[in-house]
Amino acid sequence: MPSAPDVIRVEDLSVSYSAVVEEPRDPKHRFSRRTRKREIRALEHVTFNVTKGEALGLIGGNGAGKSTLLKTIAGVLKPSDGQVDLWGRPHLLAPGMGFNKKLSGRENVILGGLAAGMSIDEVREKQDAIIEFADIGGFVDLPTNTYSSGMFGRLAFAVATHVNPEILLIDEALSAGDSGFRGKAVAKVKEMCQEAQTIVVVSHSSSMVSEMATRALWLHQGGVRDVGEVTKVTGAYEAFQASQRETAQHDRSIADRK
């Protein structure tokens, strides 16, 4: 059988950004400080592809570059080098993204649908199905700033998966630990893959990635450590975690400038 066509193609992608840090001029005089501009390398020479109907799981420690990669695919961040090619419209699902927490859940269903490119008629047509899938009861008519992180994640996921995105990018949106919703979310992701939609999901939980994804990519210090069959890659990542203490990986500066 012919292989499925690429929907996402990332080639030699690097992303850097500037950060301003403060530090003491002299260790003996901690109140005398200076600022320094530091160039941070978030991603370096990342290459991979995702085919139509595939779910790719991104794993790696804090600061490995997972969220940066997702935002670059979505077009929120620009590459410093390399390129990202997409065949389809991306939708980024991240905690709190696109919602107004002063509005009710019902109002945010409309807001989120419109932000994803749906018409008002399409949103109204799907509103009841979205609310039913989120299953947050009477909270749907309360401001979302009264929600637990689990309820907020439920509603955001329900909206994102009902707007029929061609490419769905999920950034830790299901990390709130809502186990009652997890099986439902996994089933929905698999259903979307069967409908030839393409998904990239970020999670600190390798077990969740194993449930949702068909392939996995392990990012370490901004580069690709491994990519391939999901159980193989998540197994290697778990062994790595067990063998050494993995700390935050943000200290990858190119240069310090005053």
pLDDT in tens, 4-56: 899 999 999 999 988 776 766 666 666 666 777 778 899 999 999 999 989 99
Yes or no: say if 48 and 12 are a contact pair by the CB < 8 Å rule: no
CA atoms within 13 A on the CB side of 26: 3
CA atoms within 13 A on the CB side of 36: 14
**Each residue's pLDDT tens digit, 202-250:** 987 788 888 889 899 999 999 999 999 999 999 999 999 888 765 555 5
133's torsion region: left (phi>0), alpha (psi -120 to 50) or beta?
alpha
The strand pairing partners of 201, in sequence order, are 57, 170
Q: Which pLDDT score is estimated for 149? A: 82
- pLDDT at 81 > cutoff 80: yes
Yes or no: say if 156 and 133 are a contact pair by the CB < 8 Å rule: no
Q: Which pLDDT score is estimated for 257? A: 37
Count Cβ atoms below 10 Å from residue 32 Cβ, excluding itself. Answer: 9
Within the chain, strands assigned E span 6-26, 29-51, 55-59, 81-86, 90-93, 167-171, 198-202, 215-220, 223-229, 253-257
User: In the predicted model, what is the mean pLDDT of residues 110-139?
Assistant: 90
Lowest mean pLDDT among 103-117, 146-160, 183-197, 232-246: 183-197
Q: Which pLDDT score is estimated for 132? A: 95
Q: Which pLDDT score is estimated for 117? A: 77
DSSP-derived 3-state class of residue 209: helix
Of residues 172, 188, 199, the one with CA closest to residue 88: 199
Fold classification of 52-251 (topology level): Rossmann fold (3.40.50)
Domain regions of the chain by residue span: 52-251
52's tokens = 């139509």
Q: Which pLDDT score is estimated for 12? A: 97
User: In the predicted model, what is the mean pLDDT of residues 70-74?
Assistant: 94
CA atoms within 13 A on the CB side of 242: 7
Average pLDDT for the chain: 85
Lowest mean pLDDT among 41-50, 82-91, 155-164: 155-164
Q: What is the DSSP string of 163-200?
A: S--SEEEEESTTTT--HHHHHHHHHHHHHHHHTT-EEE
